[in-house]
Amino acid sequence: MPLVRSDPTPFIASPAGATDLETLYRTHAPTVARWVARLAGPLVDVDDLVHEIFLVVRRRLPEFRGDAKVTTWLYRITERVAREGRRKDRFRRWFSRARHLEIQRTMTAPHLTPVDEFERRQASEMVYRILDRLPGKYRNVLILYELEELSGEEIATLTGLKPATVWVHLHRARARFIAEMKRDSGRST
Amino acid sequence: MKEPIARGRQSEADERAPIRHRWTTQPPGDTDEALAGALLRSAKVVQPFGTKNLAEVAARLRTRERRLPTKWAWQIAIAVGLLLFCGAVSAAVMHFLRVASVGPALSDTPVSMPTSGQVRRRHRVVAPPPDPAIAQVPEAPPVPGSTEEESESLPVKASPELPAAPLANPSALAQESRLLAGAIHKLRQERNPGQALAMLDQHRARFGAKGALEPEAEVTRIEALLRLGRHDQALGLLDAQVLTPAGVGREMLVARAELRAEKGRCGAALNDFNLLLATEASPDLVTERVLYGRATCRAQQGDWAGARSDLEHYLARFPKGRFADQARAAIGK
């Protein structure tokens, strides 16, 4: 079933077959978007990054031989694009504070009162500030475990790490997170 | 040594142990884990990627092109524009300041000195018989600006003796500066003192004596008048100035002295020349002109010994100076 019925042209053209890619997009785009939002933080444009990711998918699909699970493959692309997105965003934030505020507005949850929303926003910013100080391998494992609520085994499958390595990373990530959190709260008092 | 290794292995084994409880599911409390959990829960909310977003990204993918980051393109364009604008403004300011402060020295060509004959004709004064030691009072060099190669410029810089005008508002200052820069360009680059003077008249009409750049405008006006050969007017302006022999004042003093000498006002000219020579300065074009100019004036006034002394002094300091030949001829060397 084409994504956009009114348009007869396949939206993703690839030697591997347009239908497969369409299916891939339709099936995985929401998950990819969630990963992006989690990994890249609240200050990036999720739509832009999802677009970037599926551009990479379209380019790389012919090389994908099915050695890894599709989700693992997609996660690896997402991780790289999200990392790049964060790097670009740091530059953008340095350039303009306006965008920062604009994206914050889009994060507003309608069911919260303005005060709740403000506090949530502050806390969310603090989380990502702390996470950004963690090494990438610890940061992502912690995000997948605590925010994405994946099990150790699921994280291992997704990241291609051994389950034992996932736990080591998670233990270390937690220790670093608490240390950084204390440092942050010490600085703010 | 065994104990730390064993402890290390134990720690590694602890780290490999699966974690059973997520921080985000912990009940609120004061422990570090509970606080971290509360913090992380706040970051769990993400905007859902709904059907609208799906369709939008799909549409972008269909175009097979990256979407232009419109907002950023605009911001970057504005930033680049601002950078270019700032660069242009600072370049213009630097150029103006360079022209103003390091501009060519005031006419290293002196104003023509009157010969003894000219002075006698003008004032119908019977001069004392010339000292046989001085065969002839040196002929004056051409008036500045009378020939293209020799036309030099007055440095445009607020001299300390000129009263500082109150600072106008920035836009007025910008307009004033544009007008003055235009006049300097006409004068120096296009070598068109007439148009420069017209622009300076506009400046005067618009800003009057209260203009923040009025002192600079006055110096430019004097230079333009000199180039146009309107020495009387230039001298009129210079006479109105209280000058000190420092910086631009030195250049203006020598120009005034030469103009005064040219008009036969050798007494007043000598005051300026003496003031200049009384001030310690390294030998330069101004000193050269001052020595030669004073010698001329002294000769006009019949002070032959003084004139001779100045010319000898001149030759000692500037043996290859531009008036060296005239000086040698005058003292018969």
Rounded Cα distance between A50 and A18, Å, is 18
Rounded Cα distance between B68 and A41, Å, is 22
Rounded Cα distance between A72 and B326, Å, is 97
| Tokens of residue B47, six digits | 């905007």
Q: For residue range B23-44, what is the model confidence (pLDDT) as tens digits?
A: 988 888 888 888 888 888 888 8
User: Under DSSP, is residue B125 helix (H, G, I), strand (E, B) or coil?
Assistant: coil
φ, ψ for residue A5, nearest 5 deg: -65, -35
CA max distance for chain B: 122
Chain B residue numbers with beta carbons less than 8 Å from the beta carbon of A13 are 64
CB–CB of A126/A169 below 8 Å?
A: no
Q: For residue range B123-174, what is the model confidence (pLDDT) as tens digits?
A: 333 334 444 444 454 444 444 444 444 444 454 444 444 444 444 455 778 8
Average pLDDT, chain B: 75
Measured in whole angstroms, the distance separating CA B273 from the mean position of its chain's CA atoms is 27
Residue B159 neighbours by CB under 8 Å, 6+ apart? B215, B219, B243, B244, B247, B248, B249, B252
Q: For residue range B51-60, what is the model confidence (pLDDT) as tens digits?
A: 888 888 888 8
Calculate the CA dihedral of residues B11, B16, B17, B23 and round it to 10 degrees.
100
- Flag whether residue A175 sits within 8 Å of chain B, measured between CB atoms: no
Cα angle for residues A78, A83, A89 (degrees, 5° grid): 120
CB–CB of B212/B166 below 8 Å?
A: yes
Q: For residue range A20-62, what is the model confidence (pLDDT) as tens digits?
A: 778 889 889 999 999 998 898 877 788 889 999 999 998 888 8
CB–CB of B238/B222 below 8 Å?
A: yes
pLDDT of residue A51: 92
More confident residue, B191 or A114: B191
Instruction: Select the residue from B9, B22, B39 to test the A interface by mutation, using most A Cβ atoms within 10 A.
Output: B39
Residue A59 neighbours by CB under 8 Å, 6+ apart? none
Closest listed residue to residue B238, CA positions, set B262, B220, B255: B255
Chain A residue numbers with beta carbons less than 8 Å from the beta carbon of B15 are 167-168, 171-172
Closest listed residue to residue A173, CA positions, set A144, A147, A135: A135
CB–CB of B96/B103 below 8 Å?
A: no
CB pairs under 8 A between A and B: 126
CATH number, span B111-143+242-333? 1.25.40
Chain A residue numbers with beta carbons less than 8 Å from the beta carbon of B62 are 4, 7, 9, 11-12
Q: For residue range A65-83, what is the model confidence (pLDDT) as tens digits?
A: 777 788 889 999 999 999 9
CB–CB of B119/B266 below 8 Å?
A: yes
CATH 1.10.1740.10 domain extents, chain A: 1-107
Please give the CATH topology (third level) of the domain spanning A1-107: Rna Polymerase Sigma Factor; Chain: A (1.10.1740)
pLDDT of residue A135: 92
Rounded Cα distance between A99 and A103, Å, is 6
Q: For residue range A139-176, what is the model confidence (pLDDT) as tens digits?
A: 999 999 998 888 989 899 889 899 999 999 999 999 99
pLDDT grade for B7, boundaries at 50, 70 and 90: low
Rounded Cα distance between A150 and B113, Å, is 99
Rounded Cα distance between A138 and B20, Å, is 18
Closest-CA residue in chain B for A97?
A: B75
Chain A residue numbers with beta carbons less than 8 Å from the beta carbon of B58 are 3-4, 11, 25
- Flag whether residue A138 sits within 8 Å of chain B, measured between CB atoms: no
Chain B residue numbers with beta carbons less than 8 Å from the beta carbon of A3 are 54-55, 58
Q: Is the pLDDT of residue B222 over 80?
A: yes
Please give the CATH topology (third level) of the domain spanning A112-189: Arc Repressor Mutant, subunit A (1.10.10)
Contact check, Cβ <8 Å, A54/B61: yes
CB–CB of B314/B288 below 8 Å?
A: yes
Q: For residue range B289-327, what is the model confidence (pLDDT) as tens digits?
A: 888 889 988 888 888 888 899 999 889 988 888 888 888
If phi > 0 it is left, if psi is from -120 to 50 it is alpha, else beta; for residue A14 that is beta
